[in-house]
Structure 1
Amino acid sequence: MLFMVEMDVNVPLDTDQERFAALKQAEKERFQELQRAGTWRHIWRVVGHYSNVSIFDVADNAALHDILTALPLYPFMNIRVTALCRHPSSIHDDDR
């Protein structure tokens, strides 16, 4: 199943910067691992915000939930999820 996931990161001003830098590095490593596996198919930065729009390809809602809640930056995120389905006019076979 494909899902569009919008993630806004909100970091409190009093957050320890060294701890946050380590969380960002862990987040990057996890993202790249999921990207190589084909689970996190696309990611785009939202201009002017500490936000992204991503496309996930997972088995079901529960799988997506497990992935998102395990992300290192999850405690700092506001997340919106939209289920997607293939548009009948798409020319791409991998749009499921």
Structure 2
Amino acid sequence: MLFAVKMDVHLPPDMDSDVKADILAREKAYSQEVQTSGEWPHIWRCVGQYSNLSIFDVDSNQRLHDILSQLPLFPYMHIDVTPLATHPSDIALLERNP
């Protein structure tokens, strides 16, 4: 199942710098682990924002929830999830199924 996920991060401005550095390091390590697994095949930065747009390829809604809720930055995020389906005008689909 494919999902487009927009994650907006809102860290408290008065967050301790050591706490912030720790959370960001854990976030990077965890997100790269999930990317390596193949469940998080794409991540893009949204220009001018502290946010990203990602594509997840997971087996279930629950699996996506588990991944997202384990992100160290999860308590500081607003997350929008959009389930994706193949579009009938996708030329890649036409090439696979002539």
Q: TM (normalized to structure 2)?
A: 0.89
Q: 1:32 to 1:16 in 2, by over 3 A?
A: same
Query: Which residue pairs with 2:92 in the alignment?
Result: 91
Distance (Å, rounded) in 1 between the aligned partners of 2:41 and 2:27? 16
Q: Which has the larger radius of gyration?
A: 2
Q: TM (normalized to structure 1)?
A: 0.91
Question: How many residue pairs end up in the alignment?
Answer: 93
CA RMSD for the aligned pairs? Answer: 1.3
Higher share in helix: 2
The C-alpha deviation readout for 1:9-61, integer Å capped at 9, x for no partner, is 00111111111111111111111111111011100000000000000001111
Distance (Å, rounded) in 2 between the aligned partners of 1:13 and 1:45? 21
Matches within 5 A, 1:14-93: 14-88=14-88, 89-91=90-92
Q: Which secondary structure state, in structure 2, belongs to the residue aligned with residue 40 of structure 1?
A: coil
Q: Percent identity?
A: 53
Q: Which secondary structure state, in structure 1, belongs to the residue aligned with residue 82 of structure 2?
A: strand
CA apart distance, 1:78? 0.3
Letter in 1 for 2:57: D
Consecutive unaligned residues in structure 2, runs of 5 or more: none
1:2 aligns with 2:24: no
Distance (Å, rounded) in 2 between the aligned partners of 1:75 and 1:17? 17
